[in-house]
Structure 1
């Protein structure tokens, strides 16, 4: 990855809530609409605040471009959210963010687990990185990737 696209991570704070709300609307509204889930600001904020202590703002050269929310649970790493602003999608940044978590999980010799909405194109990336579907509820797919 070129220096100009070097990803930076920092803990999210309450000052980031406007950015995170706009990011969530921009990246998730289509998927939430498809499954008839709430998309109003209150619902978006509730999802943002879930496990907020693990939220990291992803930046390039100081410009906020996304969110990573991942954490270690007993026996696994869990990715709760990866979101990249639409104007930065398609550049391999999601793969780089995912690699960061998978490396940590492999260092801990633990699998990584996530949920992805049915129809979300990110599922192809997860499959390419070694995730396999282990559950399905008709709205979301539960996927797991063994440690490298």
Structure 2
């Protein structure tokens, strides 16, 4: 896994991140018959909030982003995109683990939605997310803080 760091996003980051989103999501959106090259960028711009977004950097270069937006009953994990050449490198897992550790310390529930059929769903499931609901496009998932999740019980005879 590459050395990585998080830095706060700024308004200047929105266009490069919109481009990254278009690249990362294209295959899944095409599979669902929902890819539109203008819409994929516009949706990112419309939902971008620098105050709750971090840029993922590897060796000082921006390679992705992730947002954790506070809501009434949970934080929403959004805009988690990583450059394709880093998929499977462990970088996304490390970033997710760092954010979830922060939420566990604060006893914060985390919610997200992922496109149906996306390989990212397995990453989220490995980190304790479970499905709350699904629609024809999205799977809505939730993760309760580690202290609140049931633990496996070992019974010794």
Provide TM-score, normalisation by structure 2: 0.83
Map 1:99-138; keep pairs closer than 5 Å.
Answer: 99-138=97-136
Deviations 1:73-96 (A, max 9, x none): 222121012100001111111111
* Aligned position for 1:31: 28
Work out whether residues 67 and 84 of structure 1, in 8 Å CA contact, stay in contact via their aligned partners in 2: yes
Distance 2:100 2:59 in 1: 23
Change (3 A) 1:39 1:55: farther
Distance 2:93 2:45 in 1: 21
Match of 1:80 among 73, 78, 81: 78
Distance 1:122 1:43 in 2: 18
Equivalenced residue count is 145
Q: Which ranges of structure 2 fall in alignment gaps of 5 or more residues?
A: 147-157
Cα RMSD of the aligned pairs, angstroms, is 1.7
Distance 2:111 2:32 in 1: 21
Q: C-alpha displacement at 1:38, in angstroms? A: 4.5
Provide TM-score, normalisation by structure 1: 0.88
Match of 1:141 among 111, 133, 139: 139
Q: Is the counterpart of residue 10 in structure 1 residue 10 in structure 2?
A: no
Q: Is the counterpart of residue 46 in structure 1 residue 48 in structure 2?
A: no
Which runs of at least 4 in structure 1 moved beyond 6 Å after TM superposition?
A: none
Larger Rg: 2
* Aligned position for 2:94: 96
Q: C-alpha displacement at 1:72, in angstroms? A: 2.1
* Aligned position for 2:58: 60
Q: C-alpha displacement at 1:17, in angstroms? A: 3.0
Q: Which ranges of structure 1 fall in alignment gaps of 5 or more residues?
A: none
Distance 1:107 1:119 in 2: 31
Of 81-90 and 19-28, more deviation after overlay is shown by 19-28
Q: Secondary structure at the match of 1:15?
A: helix
